[in-house]
Structure 1
């Protein structure tokens, strides 16, 4: 039978479809240009790795950059660097996206007009000559925390040429209280280096060593070394936390006490009195007194291994008090002298000089005080109204750059030469990973310009610094330092401080109302990462908030003020106000409201502008971390908080999802053989692995919920950003999430962290329901996703009990990107070894199969088997605490095989019979019997 004739409509549609298919097969428009002369050591498709360092608050953290043909695509920790120890945090991982940020500054600007470097020189050099004629009178420089030996050398030379030069320093999240505390205690400024790996008992007095910060990676590693249930002869440490709001450290503590700041100071004074001091300390509440008694007895029972820590947000007298306490406990704390002999002047002095007309030329190097200065300084107004020649050097034309007369684009740290010191003084030589993307300059060039050297380069300045210090074969030393990423034996010498003195404690403030507490944001820090889309969409530890901040409040305080979770509220303090949503946080001390800094940017860029609320205007320079007298009230409308996977409350049998046991229970289990794994009957055939059987074990005892693994996976696997509107619809694309479970009570929450990637089930529920066999097993047991087969039915997602699959509702990386995420420059960041997925397909964790493939090719080339530990997934490499272990289950001696024999090993939802290749170790805690229920 012949087919019926086509109608005119059908014929037209067929013609259009055929034309479209012919067009899709046409030759691309791009021209392929081969190398005329191939660069040395560059093989197309084969990556190179180089060592460098990146700063946070001025301190170096060493990284290894993976570079494909001149473009870095991934950063990992440098194992030889004391601040990174081979791991990363969210800031290091996301720095690669900041390099390619389309919002970076590209040109010189004079006010709002685009200008040239030549025009800037014509305006700036006469001002330099006038300043030189007056000995530097009227010349000022503002920087952040400077640890670079080269920049410190150049600033020293400038002080010699311009004796009246005024150098000011400003870090929104700095170390002013810590430095002032050492002066109170010892009479001189010192930098303490607490050693968690040498501490058997730790008391964190409003300290968050496991939270974000320059030392976070080192602290996480040291904590894990004394916290592993596989102790190898070392004791399992015990952690106490006393704090006003739940921190990451508080979440991992064996015992935690919520206290307001004034009560916390009384707690520290009472502890000192128990150790021989005679301070005026009000009586503690019964709960605080019981907690103090148990913790102090424990600390005194471990002399030399007992450590008390406090955070930067505590006032100097509490820091001094902690030094006095640690001296009596013989705590494992080392001290080094500051790297800057003469500390820079404070920002407040610069604000006064600007208002008084005493500044004629001001250079702002990388700082952004127009945004992040305390509100009472009025710095933005002083800068705007000043008649001085103001010059801003920065990678973004931020709030300060917009107010300065001249803005100069600064090279990214991955584009330029430099040197930096880590917290312990270790020096890293920083080398560029890529040629500058734009016409940018460095701080070393600008300081050299002040010295009259127009042709200075950052490379020449760094070499000049170290040529003067190194004898012998300088070139060999230079190459070795660049190769290793650290300068050998450059750590600062440890110093022995004089006997600690007891500080005088000021009277408690009598101001009523709430106390407003400020904290750095765990994803955007002080606001410098506000335009980084990965970090804006990264769930914050504990709260899981994304794309903004909130006011954290105790449920009891909110109930008294008729404030509900998610309400928009107004915070009023000292004639200023702030509107933002409220997030009720069980475990928050009564009488405090906590707000994170770094949001509400006005000149961050297309990603960060207008996200969240700016808390800096409510900050006070004399007390930057806590301000009493706050008034909070509801505005009568909801805000719509964006949270990915909120906390999950577990009760009864639901605790099988996240298993915990005490150290005593673990020790009792240790001698018993591991229980047989439950294998319910299944109709699925058993998976047969030809050569390897890849698996992963995650130790929840060691996981600190820092999200380094989440951003590492995003960077490695080209995971797109979807934006706040899509997140609100539940459409995030992260291949890995960290679930937060709470097994405590509303009065005493007890969070636990559980990273959840694809389980790579041997009996995978996603496979039999796929109509096109896009979800299948490979020969090594990996549950793979064949993108070019997938037709987007989402049956696999519906059948997955772990909910680890993501569906591309839109072309998040292919034509429908959020904001500026479709800019061509961002394509340079993508990993060429991982497919960029299109709209309408499922995607998920692949165990970094590209890394497995690379190891397989290397082994075949050398005629050997893949070695144990040769394949390291991106999440495993990033983890500061080494909570993630990956390897071959067919090897009985592999790390992952040994962990599966541990008594606390379990499979998530193992009763379903999915036989996951990703399994867990239950969280082991070490509670003090004196603080257990019914304890003395």
Structure 2
């Protein structure tokens, strides 16, 4: 990578040129030159100077570097494209086992967070700006006190730590101050899973499932395909067994209380209360020979449970049961016993959040107890925000005030920073050196792509300063950690590790514990009242990404809601309480109460509502403040994911949830637009009406260019999990603007790609499927003949091109598009009328210089990433060859974790897109309209069990 001193050191503000008055303009017009002017002032320019031009840098040409990004403390390898020293786009690292070349929405949006002007820039003391020297002096004084008392009174609070270097530093800190203590927590942690492992094995173990080796998966409240640190690996493994042309098509059962992506892709899904799922797990264990009490399974579930156990027994070594966070610790232990009996394809590894000497962190509850007991003098919170996301019953806000010295280190001056004496800004991961481990223990390095934009520090620097009073180099600290593994030729090893983005052979060794113990399963209690299941948000996660506009405006996969959260209720629960969509209700549990709008969700279990975390923040920044309601106020340390005995009351107010589209539920439309086949019918060739073209004055085939390229895309809906990674990837690649909640409320949005959701089930039993919809690039495009200025044109390679500088905004093309994939800039969303702080100069650094930033009044749409096609063509011409087979990859294709999207030249024999077009499941969306789209699909395939002859 470029040396740090070669990267941009500052960004020069744009300078506007002098404006022309009316007389000057008329004078120019008379001279015949005004017709060549695009505006009455000089174009805005951004100048990024270099201290010294990097040797390998060609101005304007992107370079890629491997690094690692964390989610809930776990690392996922990425490749970052940098142009002129500016990171602009993130893609997955195919060498890294946690990303496998794909991305999720959080990885894609990291570049936007890097340039966020609301990031903390300077040290704060009691909320006021303070010189770094003052903080250094204060910390030095605290360090002297710690030495005198062997660290008594010091508490370090972190998130989940998987960094070997940071764990080594924490070990050094605790060794120097033996009376100090380290505590850790993660708002998205599954505490019952940890407790279940202790019950089963008597030690802290983590489960690493291998879905690529499974033929039967039973998810009991679990969401392995949903957003999270292991989503990409799980999704790729799932996809390997969901292609009909391959042997061993898997079967997925999902029993859940709230709708999830796993439930949407399941071959059989059932909505149940968590207590009933506990009993189902008990029934499965008993059928496998467990000496447990008789399960209290309702009669209407006994046939399903029998079919599940039959499938599990018929597929030894390739069946697995997964338990979710709403299930009890005893059920998690029971699932360990079931998987051991099945010899399930999974690994058990030691928990990674322990120091080299085996020290494990205390809990957040233990820290609060020490605070309230007056045993904490110095509280250091490192990269966490417990004042916002800690369970409400811990009352961290009041307890923290009992520590005299309170230091917060974070990327934002957030809710916890407001409670602290000192706040120190934390460097963004793309500005820092570090290392991280993934779910399976594989280690990789974190290297900076750019010099820190502000006066920020890394976690390694702060822990070193806290330990010794001296600032240390993060790069040197990381190198010291891996010095022994690098061996004699460490520099060669180091260079290879940076280049590959993964440290070979660093995955955790699976442990082989004794047979798990059967837990004592308590008798089922009386049916409890209404429950609310809490979930990490698919866009802003636990609130960490609340100030990221891309993620706020990314539609939630199952509801299409943006800019907020809502209480999802089954229609029966809504009817009983007399509430409707958009009505604000009060949710009360004990002394806690919040207000939330209602969203009717047929997929929710009766008696159970669901609500996303991450909203209701007041110190997130200009984007995230005041959006949605804070579900953390309902959480308890004992049951962080389930709110029991919840009381729902009407408030008399209305607040319609913002959505960008509707779920398609009309049966006639679903069967036509989203074909679904059972596995036995997957190989049947579909009689497609698009093959019988209607009479047309247009040529039968679009004309071909001399080189004969014919670009096309095929999307396999059987593999699409609806994760939205493609949507945000397109946004990052193509400078797609954000419109903001006010414009969404007017029915406007600018995404070039959407993921439609179709309900192919019944009113009582919904069943969702996903269909990504970019521009169809029709060969008989209805948008082209209606454009009065030929802004919408067809090129010789099959692309429906949009010439932005011709567009005059008639919107005829949008009206004529049956797929509704064109977007109109009603306002200057990226050109002077940006939402909130999105017009700040810092955001300009993220823009892709190869893609035009469109102005107000211009129509825009998917272009098949034509800039990537152009780049590949230029490279091929320089080398006097044709573009290689499958060489061009679009942004959405690269992001997809299941490889559902393929793109390429259909004229090239052996290309992936031509092979998919010959699949019997191939179909064109709205093919009967004879638009002859270049974007086509493969029908969804499900493998349902046969129950009562319905086969659903």
Matches within 5 A, 1:5-404: 24=39, 37-231=52-246, 234-339=247-352, 340=354, 341-383=358-400, 385-404=401-420
Secondary structure class of the residue paired with 2:406: strand
Q: 1:387 to 1:205 in 2, by over 3 A?
A: closer
Give the drift of 1:380.
1.2
Q: Distance in 2 between matches of 1:455 and 1:355?
A: 32
CA shift, 1:413, in A, is 0.5
Partner of 1:540: 556
Stretch of structure 1 that moved more, 922-931 or 786-795: 922-931
Give the match's secondary structure for 1:451. Answer: helix
Deviations 1:345-364 (A, max 9, x none): 11112112222221111111
- How far the C-alpha of 1:516 sits from its partner, in A, is 2.0
SS at match of 1:308: strand
Q: Is the 8 A contact 2:690 2:930 kept in 1?
A: no
> What's the secondary structure of 2:729's corresponding residue?
helix
Cα distance in structure 2, aligned partners of 1:543 and 1:74: 27
Shift of 1:467: 1.6
Matched, 1:443 2:456: no
Once the two structures are superposed, residues 287-325 of structure 1 have per-residue CA deviations (whole angstroms, 9 ceiling, x without a partner) of: 211110111111111111111111233221111111111
Counterpart contact for 2:66–2:500, Cα < 8 Å? yes
Aligned partner of residue 648 in structure 1, secondary structure: coil
Q: Give the counterpart of 1:906 among 917, 920, 923.
A: 923
Q: Which residue of 573, 576, 581 corresponds with 2:597?
A: 581
Rounded to whole Å, the distance in 1 between the matches of 2:48 and 2:622 is 33
After superposition, the Cα gap between the structure-2 partners of 1:18 and 1:146, relative to the gap in structure 1 and judged at 3 Å, is farther
8 Å Cα contact 1:674/1:901 also seen in 2: no
1:622 is the counterpart of 2:635: no
Structure 2: unaligned runs, 5 residues or longer: 1-20
Give the secondary-structure state (helix, strand or coil) at the position aligned to 2:888: coil
CA deviation profile, 1:525-545 (whole Å, cap 9, x unmatched)? 100000000000000011111
Q: Which residue of the partner structure matches residue 933 of structure 1?
A: 950
- Of 665, 671, 686, which aligns to 1:655? 671
User: Which residue is equivalent to 1:818?
Assistant: 835
Deviation, 1:519, is 0.9
Corresponding residue for 2:722? 705
CA drift at 1:515: 1.3
Show the counterpart of 1:4: none
**Aligned pairs, how many?**
919
What is the TM-score of this pair, normalised by structure 2? Answer: 0.94
Pick the aligned partner of 1:734 from 739, 748, 751: 751
Residues 690 and 929, structure 2, Cα contact 8 Å, conserved in 1: no
The secondary structure found in structure 2 opposite 1:336 is: strand
Deviation at residue 17 of structure 1 after TM alignment: 5.9
Distance across 2 between alignment mates of 1:913 and 1:238: 36
Match of 1:9 in 2: none
CA distance in 2, matches of 1:439, 1:651: 57
Between the aligned partners of 1:480 and 1:554, the Cα distance in structure 2 is: 53
2: CA distance, partners of 1:489 / 1:512: 49
CA contact (8 A) 1:237 1:926 kept: yes
Contact 2:250 2:943 in 1 (8 A): yes
Cα separation, 1, equivalents of 2:38 and 2:795: 35
What is aligned with 2:693? 679
Cα pair 2:944 2:951 within 8 Å, conserved: no
Q: What secondary structure is seen at the aligned counterpart in 1 of 2:646?
A: strand
Q: Distance in 1 between matches of 2:373 and 2:907?
A: 74
Match of residue 613, structure 1, among 603, 609, 629: 629
Q: Deviations over 1:214-270 (max 9, x none)?
A: 000000100000111221xx3100111111122110111111111101111111111
Instruction: Say if 1:934 and 1:848 are closer, same or farther in 2 by CA, change over 3 A.
Output: closer
Give me the whole-angstrom Cα distance separating, in 1, the residues matched to 2:753 and 2:616.
Answer: 28
CA distance in 1 between counterparts of 2:261 and 2:60 reads 40
Q: What does 1:365-514 correspond to in 2, within 5 Å?
A: 365-383=382-400, 385-510=401-526, 512-514=528-530
C-alpha contact (below 8 Å) 2:81/2:90 kept by paired residues: yes
Q: Kindly tell me: are residues 568 and 25 of structure 1, through their superposed partners in 2, closer, same or farther at Cα, counting changes over 3 Å?
A: closer
CA–CA distance in 1 between the matches of 2:667 and 2:23?
A: 60
Task: Decide whether the 8 Å contact of 1:107 with 1:439 is kept in 2.
Answer: yes
Match of 2:276, SS state, is helix
Question: Partner of 1:649: helix, strand, or coil?
Answer: coil
Aligned to 2:852: 835
Q: Deviations over 1:666-716 (max 9, x none)?
A: 14x16x999982322212234112120000000000000000000000000
- Supply the distance in 2 between the matched residues of 1:409 and 1:19 (Cα, whole angstroms): 52
Distance 2:469 2:57 in 1: 35
Contact 2:77 2:444 (C-alpha < 8 Å) held by counterparts: yes
Looking at structure 1, the residues matched to 404 and 28 of structure 2 have their Cα atoms a distance apart, in angstroms, of: 64
Say whether the 8 Å CA contact 1:692–1:890 is kept in structure 2: yes
Match of 2:532 in 1: 516
C-alpha deviation, 1:32, in angstroms: 6.3
Q: Which residue does the alignment assign to 2:580?
A: 564
* Residues 1:226 and 1:29: Cα distance change in structure 2 (over 3 Å): closer
Structure 1 residue 16: deviation in Å?
Answer: 6.5
What secondary structure does 1:784 align onto?
Answer: strand
Which residue in 2 is equivalent to 1:3? none
- Deviation of the 1:555 alpha carbon: 1.1
1:595 to 587, 592, 611: 611
Deviation at 1:175, TM superposition (A): 3.6
User: SS of the counterpart of 1:572?
Assistant: strand
Q: 1:356-386 CA deviation, whole Å, 9 max, x = no partner?
A: 2211111110010000000100001222x32
Asked if the contact 2:275/2:327 (under 8 Å) is kept, the reply is no
The CA distance in 2 between the partners of 1:388 and 1:932, in whole Å, is: 69
Report the CA distance shift for 1:311/1:34 in structure 2 as closer, same or farther (over 3 A).
closer
Does the 8 Å CA contact 1:361/1:388 hold for their aligned counterparts?
Answer: yes
C-alpha separation in 2, matches of 1:293 and 1:677? 45
Q: Equivalent residue for 1:799?
A: 816
Of 324-333 and 75-84, deviating more is 324-333
